[in-house]
Structure 1
Amino acid sequence: MAPANTPWTVHGAPASGSIAIDAALTLLGTPYKLIDGATWADSAARERVAPLNPLRQITTVVLPGGEAMTESAAILIHLADLHPEARLAPGLADPRRARYLRWMVYVSSAICSLHWIKPDVGRIGVPPAARDGVVHAVHERIALCWTHMDGQLSPGTYLLGDELTVLDLYVTVVSRFGPWRQRFCEVAPRMAPVVQRVDNEPRLQAFWRDRFPLDGQ
């Protein structure tokens, strides 16, 4: 096991789901080692992650104690719970906790999981020639999922009220993926002002610029 003071190690890539973890660590001021590699496009990155994650994909992190952890939503939940003083998640006794957990898992299972199909539609038994149609269908399904989420939330300043949480970070990052932010704002008008507020969070301006610029979406 690694010493307790060993920094977090994040295997990720610019413009990927790992950016939400990077953003949370940045807000917390937690030191971490970043190892970039787009596992969906880079065989060397897949091999580098393989000993930690048999699926050979990011996001994969190594915790300070030496344990590997995967799944962005789970990592964000764990990270926020490690730092209750930062108030990046509702506590166990907070009435918003169930709502928070529901939507963290929803974004992961109903939306993020669909992006896994796009780099290689053969993963679901579809020939490469059908890729454009499959990607279009995936984007339509994602838009529908955002619409359902938007209809069941009543955001305040942020998605769960007046405090920024890792749910806001997660949705802000994932909303930048296909079918892209403009479509997100069209289908999720209640959530749109929140993600734009997180885009403009002063503590994250340099971070967004370096890791996931929004220009061109």
Structure 2
Amino acid sequence: MTCQTATLTLYGAAASGSVAVEAALVLLGLPYRLIEGATWAEASARDRVAASNPMRQIPTLLLPGGEVMTESAAILIYLADLHPEARLAPAADDPRRGQFLRWMLYVSSAIYALHWIKPDVTRIGAPEGARAAVVDAVHERIAFCWANMDVQLTPGRWLLGNELTVLDLYVATVSRFGPWRARFCEVAPRMAEVIHRIDAEPRLAALWRERFPEA
């Protein structure tokens, strides 16, 4: 997903949260240059992104004027709002806007953020020997949070009704992480029906295959 005339630069990696940003860029038809690197596993990838994002994390998006965007939910909301004609986010005066923002930040803070613990459980003061138990506990919490979201949504064709938004892209991406998509479908059956449609979206089929090759 590279382009010599790209004006956006995205630091990202396969099977990561940056894929949701890639999906948004594809739907918006925006050219971008992808700098690949799994920062959670590769010191060289962390070093590459460090100049733009001192947290050394992905996704990190460089805008045409040199401005840096980080945090997946923020990037997705920004891109959708910047291109209202694509209708990938409810407008500020849309009755769905409050719930859109609520669930975008919920996925980011209550679910996605927990994956930060798994590569190094000492980050939360747990001994490395407790890693398996901590990861199991994290996965149980994530499953609980998906179930909590599921019972409070009333999806239409898409999660917020009859228009696809970046929330659909975000959930389709993050639900592939541990405790894995099968568990997501078990605890969040109403959302799962929608996410299967996202998986099958013709405009994104090639991206999903390329960026989640083992899913």
TM-score, normalised by the number of residues in structure 2: 0.96
Give the total of aligned pairs: 211
Q: Note closer, same or farther for the CA distance 1:6–1:200 as it changes in structure 2 (3 Å cut).
A: closer
Contact 2:6 2:33 in 1 (8 A): no
Matched, 1:126 2:126: yes
Residue number in structure 2 paired with 1:117: 117
Residue number in structure 2 paired with 1:72: 72
SS at match of 2:61: strand
Deviations 1:46-90 (A, max 9, x none): 111111111111111101111111000000000000110000000
Cα RMSD, aligned residues only: 1.0
Provide the C-alpha distance between the structure 2 equivalents of 1:24 and 1:57, rounded to a whole number of angstroms. 19
SS at match of 2:203: helix
Matched, 1:20 2:20: yes
Residue number in structure 2 paired with 1:203: 203
Residue number in structure 1 paired with 2:31: 31
Contact 1:8 1:61 in 2 (8 A): yes
Provide the C-alpha distance between the structure 2 equivalents of 1:16 and 1:71, rounded to a whole number of angstroms. 12
Structure 1 position 214, deviation (Å): 5.4
Residue number in structure 1 paired with 2:161: 161
AA of the residue aligned to 2:128 = P
Deviations 1:86-109 (A, max 9, x none): 000000110000000000000000
SS at match of 1:34: strand
Contact 2:6 2:31 in 1 (8 A): no
Deviations 1:169-199 (A, max 9, x none): 0000000000000000000011001110000
Provide the C-alpha distance between the structure 1 equivalents of 2:203 and 2:61, rounded to a whole number of angstroms. 23
- Consecutive unaligned residues in structure 2, runs of 5 or more: none
Query: Structure 1 runs of 4+ off > 3 angstroms?
Result: none
Deviations 1:107-150 (A, max 9, x none): 00000000000001111111111000000000000000001100
Residue number in structure 2 paired with 1:99: 99
Provide the C-alpha distance between the structure 1 equivalents of 2:157 and 2:6, rounded to a whole number of angstroms. 35
Structure 1 position 213, deviation (Å): 3.1
Residue number in structure 1 paired with 2:47: 47
Provide the C-alpha distance between the structure 2 equivalents of 1:9 and 1:160, rounded to a whole number of angstroms. 29
Structure 1 position 6, deviation (Å): 5.8
Contact 1:13 1:36 in 2 (8 A): yes
SS at match of 1:133: helix
TM-score, normalised by the number of residues in structure 1: 0.95
Identity %: 70
